[in-house]
Structure 1
């Protein structure tokens, strides 16, 4: 079969042939892949930088997708650990899949492929890592990325009463008030100055922080927000989800003593596989019902090399689909 194949971590995948995977066991089925999105998580696996990468090449990238079984059943699925989804066919473990309405149109298929992975990060965090009280205040650090953009919408959808969106892309930041952000904060420039801008808003009194950035941005923002907090004894759940700004930071111990900070992560391992899978059906239903603004760009699988380096406008995500 044809697939996107990574032969080197230093170059984009190329359209190539590879062995068709074989289902094993009662729960597995081979599907025709209809859509597989190019997520940041896919890119990090393809360049070998994701923390789960074991360095094995060649590999077919892709962590999820929408496919159709030989019986015509339409599924959204999370890929098994040993097979990617950017291919003409993929193996699906039904225990990691959600059945979709059979009449879901092609636009719905691409929207689901584009949105499920980035939406899952905040959806799972707000439903599995914390209890989001009605009217809670939420800060999204890194709100101008695809996952952050959806996090703003999901926080509001799940009952947040006030959402502060902080990000570095001014064009994308300007779009967020119409998606549910009450305040926006630019994180451009020096991290210390960005932290000062955050501290001057309502962000210090957040109940939950969804952090897609980490690194120098969080290193400066966290102390600034805790210092400006009106009631430091009030719990603040800081959920580390991504590390777009850096993998590490230094946190002086005093801030853990001087505020009721609950520092945690959300992702593979911190939430059980069963817990993540349980959240797939309600999230898929919200996406297909149009609850969230999604703007996918369909590109044929054969154009994967061009898609890998293509620039997209704010809010858009590339989805690979069948065809030449």
Structure 2
């Protein structure tokens, strides 16, 4: 698809004075019932010294992006039209390549150009794989912030990743090891993926409730932390056998709720909270301040840039967003959109 704009170069000086609107080609959501279309979009010029225009080099098509573009995410304002995208890699007017987290009050990252809050950017070293950074930062950030900010992990502690076969769950295993976990258990439904996770132990979440409960009790009863990407019925079904099998129920089990792909609610018997030291908390926008997230960005960028945290990627053109949006995600692969296809 071709997008034609009244292009205003971000290299012009002075930089869009007087609040003049800019125009760029972008993935535009005009209806929550339809995929984004590649078309022209007007967005505000930088409004203060902490805002700047960047040429977007790569942006990840994360589940969080999909939920926001459908209006289902809890942070959605319901305003349309909108440009989706929560983060990306861009080039500033000075030529610096940066990773950026999109501001909720500004258009998203799925555009050829966008405006960013410079306080939410991290410079990238020369030669950084921009596609890898765009793909990995968001899914890795969930476990990284959970284990550094929500419940800081202590060296040698053990971790259960519930929902380990999804992209974020796979990366959570890498992050837990990197941050000092002594033992990592991965639990998920995809048996083939489980076998290749590199976890110390795995548990298949099957339709056989008894067998699943027994396996969780055997492999994960003594973990210190749970990173839960599932919620819903699988989380509720896992809590009881884990707590019953603990040798000391008064020893804290920190349950960090991150995703809800299996359902937004759970039914939890009150006795679960009274009979064991179960501490449940969430990790996401609101639970952790924007400042805290931003403070964690440089360290995570370094780990991804070094290859110690990695994810498989598929690169597609931003212009093909409408087609790409409707295609099923490939397990273990994160789709990245770029203005042109990059190897």
TM-score (norm: length of structure 2): 0.89
Q: After superposition, what is the alpha-carbon deviation per residue over 1:97-130, rounded to whole angstroms, capped at 9, x for unaligned?
A: 11111x224xx10000000000000000000011
Q: Which residue of 10, 26, 38 corresponds with 1:15?
A: 38
Say yes or no: does 1:93 pair with 2:110.
no
Whole-Å Cα distance in 2 between the matches of residues 134 and 30 of structure 1? 41
Say yes or no: does 1:234 pair with 2:251.
yes
Shift of 1:151: 0.2
> Paired residue for 1:36?
59
Whole-Å Cα distance in 1 between the matches of residues 274 and 329 of structure 2? 44
Shift of 1:172: 2.1
Say yes or no: does 1:282 pair with 2:299.
yes
Shift of 1:257: 1.6
Shift of 1:191: 5.1
Say yes or no: does 1:5 pair with 2:28.
yes
Whole-Å Cα distance in 2 between the matches of residues 317 and 66 of structure 1? 15
TM-score (norm: length of structure 1): 0.94
Say yes or no: does 1:196 pair with 2:214.
yes
Whole-Å Cα distance in 2 between the matches of residues 306 and 172 of structure 1? 27
CA 1:223–1:267 in structure 2 vs 1: closer, same or farther (change >3 Å)?
A: same
Matched-pair contact (CA < 8 Å) for 1:191–1:217: no
Whole-Å Cα distance in 2 between the matches of residues 281 and 131 of structure 1? 18
Q: Which residue of 81, 84, 87 corresponds with 2:108?
A: 84
> Paired residue for 1:24?
47
Whole-Å Cα distance in 1 between the matches of residues 319 and 44 of structure 2? 19
Say yes or no: does 1:187 pair with 2:205.
yes
Shift of 1:204: 1.0
Listed as ranges, the gaps of 5+ residues in structure 1 are none
Tell me how large the CA RMSD over aligned residues is. 1.4
What's the secondary structure of 1:144's corresponding residue? coil
Matched-pair contact (CA < 8 Å) for 1:192–1:221: no
Matched-pair contact (CA < 8 Å) for 2:136–2:310: no
CA 1:160–1:150 in structure 2 vs 1: closer, same or farther (change >3 Å)?
A: same
Whole-Å Cα distance in 2 between the matches of residues 268 and 190 of structure 1? 35
Whole-Å Cα distance in 2 between the matches of residues 299 and 9 of structure 1? 22
Whole-Å Cα distance in 1 between the matches of residues 39 and 213 of structure 2? 46
Shift of 1:193: 4.5
Shift of 1:67: 0.1
Aligned residues: 317
Whole-Å Cα distance in 1 between the matches of residues 302 and 100 of structure 2? 14
What's the secondary structure of 2:308's corresponding residue? coil
Structure-to-structure mapping, 1:1-324, within 5 angstroms = 1-82=24-105, 83-101=107-125, 103-105=126-128, 108-177=129-198, 181-190=199-208, 193-201=211-219, 203-323=220-340
Whole-Å Cα distance in 1 between the matches of residues 314 and 294 of structure 2? 26
Point out 4+ residue stretches in structure 1 off by more than 2 angstroms. 188-197, 309-314
Whole-Å Cα distance in 2 between the matches of residues 191 and 6 of structure 1? 41
Shift of 1:188: 3.1
Q: After superposition, what is the alpha-carbon deviation per residue over 1:203-256, rounded to whole angstroms, capped at 9, x for unaligned?
A: 111100000100101111111110111111111110001101010112112111
